[in-house]
Chain A
């Protein structure tokens, strides 16, 4: 575990959550762990941002939740993607990729 995980880029939290949930249903802690694991500990999701984001996304109708018993026997709230969330993921992902590619192009040009 590196001492200094990189901060999340602005606006990418929703995208990361959506992407995580596209792989299956997770509870809040699981989402944070999943992102940490896939990013090889480079990204850390703060609890203080995660739960408000989950509430907001529920109201937007992108994700839904239900209480289930976790494999360890603890009650937890599990989130899953809705159809609207799947569409949203597609849109955000392509927007993000285009934006990153463009940003990278700009950065490279300034190198020369």
Chain B
């Protein structure tokens, strides 16, 4: 068909009513003309008209055939089938609703998971030009104890890679920070991206106002103090006025605003968009870190390198090129620091890997859990499909006579199958809509759990997710049509027409049983997974942390570049501690140099031990006296710290595990150790004396086993340790209100532009448990979903079986069968399927479970408690699903059943 013809057909189709009337008129005219000619040949008028009509023949058929020229007959037959399918479904609203909801759950689960995974791992950032050629650079060294992967590196390394590689057309250095932005009351902690000027070249984005910064403004050692702010910040903070050229305090420096970047532009940062972009070369001066040597030394990993392959360079070639450059860079580093491991030991490699860290070579437990859960979502979809296929089979059997009648009337089997396909596609289409609604609203929990705040999540405009949902629906439609279609076309109309329900009373359908067993088995496997994750989470929650973080508020102070000497810092610390103590509700306050799950370490010597370092990593925590009280870490022997002044014999409190390994079988109290900490004379004293033993705490990580930790008293040191962290114990009921109270009190005590960030300590603990909680939550959610779907399927199958056998059961009752016997007959059907499902499911689960072992904590993948409970649960479901049908069979009146039909 040419486009012109399609257009004319469309026009004809639109005017088909008028065309039909014109055709009728034309026929009349034809008959008139023919009559006139016949009259002229000598026939009588009446005879002539009759002869003319006879010759023209069946006018209706003629008009029908003419109509075929207009519009699209094939399409119209499809539309006819669609109307037929809609009518059929409208007559079975319960069936349609069950199918749509079941498919919706399966599709919704997948859409929600895909939307999350896509955002975390695959979807390239907005505006990025030619995403497949853009990589993040990962550095790897392989030691005997495993591969260490890092995506951060020193700025010097970035310069080396840029200089020593030939495979890339573009290379950029990026870093992300949370810095105080603004002055006075308007100060907020914001996400600041420190990037090289080359980053903007990766994107097709244009500034909304002003410009981005260029190479000349991004020079070592100090780049130009210029900033590009977000459109959102421009609108809310600056009221969308022209503010280029104005000054903005970011961190400890004043920047000049030169432009506004468009909404949706995130650079290559993960998660939400930054508020500000500044030249990467202004970051070290801003943080006052390695200001003099950040472009020559290798001791600070803070840069993520993004690279674009040059045309014609493969990813493998780029990786090879990067690796040789990395080896060269390590050689240069070795010239300044001989301790850098030789290539023969470390096997260094640099990879041109996926842009998103979560898809990179070392994605972390959370991403691995997510991938597993996506697999689970797929299984849920399969279960839903099995269930729907089963329902459709039941429907086909139910409609066997209708189908037989239609076959007998000459409907082609192909047309019949076509109608099944159309019905399936129709149901799947509604399933997609239901699924997207479920994913949008029901998936809210998954989203807040997984995605960084502020990331957009509107599935109505998310074409990638909609396409995936559509694909799921297509697969579902195909999977669910095959069996019913085959069954329908194999049917023998003659036999089916002859058989009433009486003869066709009850037939086993092995296909339906297989589908039931399939979905039940998959549910059992998922439930075992859920059980393992739940038990693993329980184990994690059971770990003795050695502290009670729940009522503790953490305060991190930021002086924003104000320089104070040691004495001044110590005075400030005292002032902050005092103002914290005065907060109503605060029972104890302290400082500590290491945040939870971060550690510091230094060289340690103990008399009688050759090398302490060989025993493990010993972390040091420098605290003020209130620390043990705030954290509720118990002192097991000796005492904690006391109020004191600098000087005197330095004191140390050691963890129980540390005492045990350093002084086995000896009373650790009164023992000496030597702490070598540069620039702090007190720590170099020949004897830092153990005054107490504290219980072991989870400082390095929640699940780490080695808990070697020692505490030094900050008050004994004249030098100031960068104690920016304060902790306040607020045993009140509402931590949110406490947080705000603490923020106000501490903020008031900060000098100049100083700034405090306050949050509940428990958040940090929860963040660390997240991957376990995530696995448990999602597995339980999907496992429960699968169980519900399987239960519905089982219930439906048994119920259908009862309906089919009603006659037989009534006959048995009439012949005097016991109630218990009838009940047993019905229930046995469910229990038989249940038993098959439990055996099969547990065997498969036992084979598959070892694969998730690395994601579990202290949980055997063959935990008998889990396996037995899941088996019992499934049998219970099989039993309960059989109850209502059994009741129906018992309460039916045999008289009425036998007389009906």
Query: In the complex, which of the residues A28, A59, A61, A72 contacts B26, with contact meaning CB atoms closer than 8 Å?
Result: A28
Q: Mark B60-72, 1 if CB is under 8 A from A, else 0.
A: 0110011111100
* B34 CB to nearest A CB, Å: 6
Give CA–CA (A74, B33) in the complex, Å: 9
Q: Does A98 contact B (CB under 8 A)?
A: no
- The distance in angstroms between the C-alpha atoms of A77 and B28, with both chains bound, is 11
A60: which B residues are within 8 A, CB to CB?
5, 8
The reply on B55 being an interface residue by CB < 8 A is yes
Which residues from chain A contact B69 at a C-beta distance below 8 Å?
52, 55-56, 58-59
Residues of A within 8 A of B12 (CB): 58-59
Does the CB pair A76–B33 fall under 8 Å?
yes
Does B254 lie at the interface of the complex (its beta carbon under 8 Å from any beta carbon of A)? no
Task: Tell me whether A24 is interfacial, beta carbon within 8 Å.
Answer: no
Considering the complex, give the chain B residue whose CB is closest to the CB of A29: B33
Q: How many Å lie between the Cα of A75 and that of B55 in the bound state? A: 21
Distance, CA A75 to CA B379, complexed state (A): 70
B9 engages A52 (CB within 8 Å): no
Asked whether any CB of chain A lies closer than 8 Å to the CB of B22, the reply is: yes
- Interface check A91, CB cutoff 8 A: no
Asked if B312 is at the interface (CB within 8 A of a chain A CB), the reply is: no
**In-complex Cβ contact of B57 among A48, A59, A72 (8 A):** A48
For chain A, residues 57 to 101, give those with C-beta under 8 angstroms from any C-beta of chain B.
58-61, 67, 70, 72, 74-77
- A52-B26 contact, Cβ under 8 Å, with A47-B55, A74-B33: no
Question: B496 in the interface, Cβ–Cβ < 8 Å?
Answer: no
Number of interface residues of A (CB under 8 A): 23
- Please tell me if A19 contacts chain B, counting CB pairs below 8 Å: no
Q: A29-B30, A77-B22 are in contact. Are A51 and B8 (CB under 8 A)?
A: no
* Contact in complex: A48, B29 (CB < 8 Å): no
Q: A27 contacts which chain B residues (CB < 8 A)?
A: 26, 29-30, 33
| B36 interface hit (Cβ, 8 Å) | yes
Give residues of chain B (22-42) contacting chain A, Cβ–Cβ below 8 Å: 22-23, 25-27, 29-30, 32-34, 36-37
Main secondary structure of the interface of B (DSSP, over half): helix
For the complex, give the distance between the alpha carbons of A70 and B26 in Å.
Answer: 13
Bound: A30/B36 CA distance, A: 13
Q: Considering only CB atoms, which chain A residue lies closest to B27 in the complex?
A: A51
Nearest CB in chain B: distance from A62 CB, A: 10
Residues of B within 8 A of A77 (CB): 22, 25-26, 29
- Nearest-CB residue, chain B, relative to A75: B29
Q: Is the CB of A76 within 8 A of B29?
A: yes
Distance between Cα atoms of A76 and B23 in the complex (Å): 11
In angstroms, Cα B36 to Cα A60, docked, is 32
In the complex, B486 has a CB within 8 A of chain A? no
Given contacts A52-B68, A74-B32, contact A59 B5 (CB under 8 A): yes
Give A91 Cβ to nearest chain B Cβ, in Å: 15
Judge whether B208 is part of the interface by a CB distance below 8 angstroms: no
Which residue of chain A has its CB nearest to the CB of B64? Answer: A52
Task: Decide yes or no whether B365 CB sits under 8 A from chain A.
Answer: no
Asked if A59 and B29 make an inter-chain contact with CB atoms under 8 angstroms apart, the answer reads no
CA A47 to CA B5, docked complex, whole Å:
24
User: Given A59-B69, A61-B4 in contact, is the A75-B25 Cβ separation under 8 Å?
Assistant: yes
Question: Closest residue to A84 on the B side, CB-wise?
Answer: B4
7 contacts between A and B (CB under 8 A): A27-B26, A29-B34, A47-B30, A51-B62, A59-B70, A60-B8, A77-B26
List A residues at the B interface (Cβ < 8 Å). 27-30, 33, 47-48, 51-52, 54-56, 58-61, 67, 70, 72, 74-77
Q: Which 8 A-B pairs have the closest CB atoms?
A: A55-B69, A56-B69, A52-B65, A29-B33, A55-B66, A52-B66, A76-B29, A47-B56
